[in-house]
């Protein structure tokens, strides 16, 4: 591309481009506009349009912090655009349904009026899923789960690449253009691998959960007249005194402790249970076998000797399943029970004691008033026999 071509593509003047090149904001290789240089110029133009001063942009550029802009060149520009009405005609989906799907996936709401050919292909696949007979309420939940999970994956890919590849190059003082080209080469090799990797992981995990669903389907369906509710064991586990630990050893070392704890939880869980989410040092676990989950909780605490010690609260009841997560009174109760425990304790409700009593011992604590609940809850301290 010539300087004039680049200026037209970025909607800036040739004189502006010359100034950016002269000041080293956009470095060229032997005076040529390489893809890496074009990506950096595009990012500079966007930053200027958003109000960042030329001084700020110059500093960032010379530090190599704009070399990340090459990522845009890994995704081809889509020239063809379709309106919402055209997409509805092509896919057979109602316009409002397309809006709901687009929102459920986590896409920008305004972008639904400017769809690409790839977007149209995606909507056609969505339409095929609905035509196959999946109920709309289940379909929208599934799309939301996909959107949330893949947004977390994409965010992690970008941030981890930046932290562990881009930042070390900056600290090493690599020349800006070489940095951009090295990042571009590495990312272009990695990107084609992400799809097959995610597909393989998905297939393996899907097989696992299908097997567990077949084994535990009698537990999963609690009331056929109330679709969307499941009877499950719910555990909340965290580290007692984590805030104090952070003050004593610092955030990074405390975070390493939390990461080891979360890894330990995931590695030791029964096959029917899974980590639903983590919030700081707290882990929410759900399983269909209350006996197995109670045994796991007591075993984990019994084997933990280093401080901060884990504490676990466990309840067994009917929960509302939505978007890959669990909601309702049973979940809130399990969380409150966990918050009541101290380090090295497993507290459970009467429902757990009655269902899982054959392998464990239970010491009655009495009826306890838990935050957010009008009636007192009977709690038991679970331990090994």
The C-alpha angle with vertex 59 and arms to 174 and 252, in degrees rounded to 5, equals 70
The count of residues in the chain is 385
How far apart are the C-alpha atoms of 47 and 60, rounded to whole Å? 11
Asked if the model's pLDDT at residue 365 lies above 50, the reply is: yes
The phi, psi pair for 127, rounded to 5°, reads -60, -40
Nearest in space to 136 (alpha carbons), one of 250, 33, 7, 227: 227
pTM as predicted? 0.68
Give residue 63's Cα distance to chain centre.
30
Nearest in space to 31 (alpha carbons), one of 72, 61, 1, 62: 1
pLDDT one-digit tens code per residue, 132-174: 999 998 899 899 889 888 988 888 888 888 888 888 888 888 8
Q: What is the mean pLDDT of the chain?
A: 86
State which H helix or E strand residue 236 sits in. Answer: strand 229-239
Give residue 173's pLDDT.
Answer: 84
Nearest in space to 45 (alpha carbons), one of 100, 7, 92, 99: 7
Q: How many CB atoms lie within 10 A of CB 135?
A: 10
Report the percent of the chain where pLDDT is more than 70.
93
Give residue 224's pLDDT.
Answer: 44
Asked if the model's pLDDT at residue 223 lies above 50, the reply is: no
Residue with tokens 């149209």: 120
Region 249-271 average pLDDT = 88
**Picking from 104-108, 173-177, 307-311, which range would have the lowest pLDDT averaged per residue?**
173-177
Most confident of 40-44, 65-69, 363-367: 363-367
For the chain, list the domains and their CATH numbers: 3-63 (1.10.1660), 84-213 (no CATH), 221-384 (3.30.70.1230)
Query: What are 96's two structure tokens?
Result: 């409002």
The more confident residue out of 71 and 42 is 42
State which H helix or E strand residue 314 sits in. Answer: strand 310-322
How far apart are the C-alpha atoms of 143 and 162, rounded to whole Å? 28
How far apart are the C-alpha atoms of 349 and 351, rounded to whole Å? 5
Query: What are 271's two structure tokens?
Result: 């096959």
Give residue 70's pLDDT.
Answer: 65
Query: What are 384's two structure tokens?
Result: 């090994």
Name the band, by pLDDT with cuts 50, 70 and 90, for residue 42: confident
Angular region, 167: left φ>0, alpha ψ -120 to 50, beta rest: alpha
How far apart are the C-alpha atoms of 9 and 295, rounded to whole Å? 64
The more confident residue out of 91 and 28 is 91
Asked if the model's pLDDT at residue 131 lies above 90, the reply is: yes
pLDDT one-digit tens code per residue, 76-87: 666 678 999 999
Residue with tokens 């978007």: 323
Name the band, by pLDDT with cuts 50, 70 and 90, for residue 96: very high
pLDDT one-digit tens code per residue, 293-328: 999 999 999 988 888 899 999 999 999 888 888 999
207: CB partners within 8 A, 6+ apart: none
Nearest in space to 209 (alpha carbons), one of 356, 321, 294: 321
Name the band, by pLDDT with cuts 50, 70 and 90, for residue 351: very high
Most confident of 119-133, 206-220, 241-255: 119-133
Question: What is the residue-wise DSSP string for 159-198?
Answer: HHHIIIIIHHHHHTT--HHHHHHHHHHHHHHHHHHHHHHH
How far apart are the C-alpha atoms of 349 and 337, rounded to whole Å? 8
Nearest in space to 150 (alpha carbons), one of 180, 181, 109, 105: 105
Asked if the model's pLDDT at residue 36 lies above 80, the reply is: no
Asked if the model's pLDDT at residue 219 lies above 60, the reply is: no
Give residue 154's pLDDT.
Answer: 87
């Amino acid at each position: 591309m010539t300087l004039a071509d680049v200026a037209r593509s970025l909607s800036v003047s040739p004189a502006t481009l010359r100034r950016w090149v002269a000041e080293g904001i956009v470095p060229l290789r032997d005076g040529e506009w390489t893809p890496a240089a074009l990506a950096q110029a595009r990012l500079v133009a966007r930053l200027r349009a958003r109000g960042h001063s030329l001084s700020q942009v110059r500093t960032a550029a010379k530090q190599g912090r704009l070399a990340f802009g090459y990522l845009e060149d890994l995704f081809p520009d889509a020239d063809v655009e379709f309106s919402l009405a055209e997409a509805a005609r092509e896919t057979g989906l109602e316009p409002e349904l397309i809006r709901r799907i687009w929102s459920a996936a986590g896409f920008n709401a305004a972008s639904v009026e400017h769809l690409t050919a790839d977007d149209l292909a995606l909507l056609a696949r969505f339409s095929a899923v609905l035509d196959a007979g999946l109920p709309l309420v289940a379909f929208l939940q599934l799309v939301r789960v996909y959107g949330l999970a893949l947004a977390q994956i994409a965010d992690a890919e970008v941030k981890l690449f930046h932290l562990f590849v881009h930042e070390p190059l900056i600290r090493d003082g690599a020349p800006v253009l070489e940095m951009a080209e090295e990042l571009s080469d590495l990312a272009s090799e990695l990107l084609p691998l992400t799809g097959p990797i995610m597909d393989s992981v998905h297939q393996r995990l899907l097989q696992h959960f299908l097997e567990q669903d077949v084994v535990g389907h009698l537990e999963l369906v609690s009331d056929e007249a109330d679709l969307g509710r499941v009877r499950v064991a719910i555990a909340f586990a965290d580290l007692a005194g984590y805030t104090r630990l952070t003050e004593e050893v610092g955030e990074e070392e405390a975070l390493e402790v939390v990461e080891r704890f979360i890894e330990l939880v995931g590695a030791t869980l029964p096959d029917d249970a899974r980590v639903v989410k983590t919030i700081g040092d707290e882990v929410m676990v759900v399983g269909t076998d209350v006996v197995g989950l109670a045994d796991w909780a007591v075993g984990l605490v019994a084997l933990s000797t280093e401080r901060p010690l884990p504490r676990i609260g466990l309840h067994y009841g009917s929960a509302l399943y939505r978007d890959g997560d669990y909601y309702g009174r049973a979940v809130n109760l399990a969380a409150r029970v966990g918050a009541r425990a101290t380090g090295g304790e497993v507290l459970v409700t009467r429902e757990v004691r009655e269902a899982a009593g054959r392998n464990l011992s239970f010491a009655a604590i009495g009826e306890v008033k838990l935050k957010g609940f009008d009636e007192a809850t009977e709690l038991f301290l679970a331990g090994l026999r």
